[in-house]
Structure 1
């Protein structure tokens, strides 16, 4: 899905090198998904996958931009901050999607 989306967007911007970055990110993320098997029954794996998914995707993007264009005009603090904060946003969205299990209320 990531590669298809990036391929369609790349045709509008003539940035075809990003297709390869997204393909690499997609393969890494598919392997991570296969290894972790995140689900609502395995909340720790779901939280970890939700945190690492945007980080891997953004890092593949920024590394590709560095290699193809020479450098990133943003400072390292900015593009790494964007990468980490996207992971935090993914983690927080996983809590919104599947809240933690609450204990059973006491009955009297």
Structure 2
């Protein structure tokens, strides 16, 4: 996870805080959508999607703070993903398997002129 963010960007997000209304406005609906998809497919067991969304954002901000505050740890992203999957009801063995898979490549982004 550390290699994916710069310390400056990481501290900016930590200081801004996940509770900032614009951040929640932008990311919240997508997070809720994805959590509902997991519930609808039977993959997640979540009694309240809005509470789960708040938990994910809180955990993300806390983990980001940890990443920019302590010496590098190789498996932070994997451990975070596994913990979040377990939080939404995925069995620990399945969560470990999913979290350890390589991420797909991101599409190329062209420069805006």
Q: What TM-score range do you get, normalising by the shorter chain? A: 0.3 to 0.5
TM-score, scaled to structure 1: 0.47
Structure with bigger helix share is 1
TM-score, scaled to structure 2: 0.45
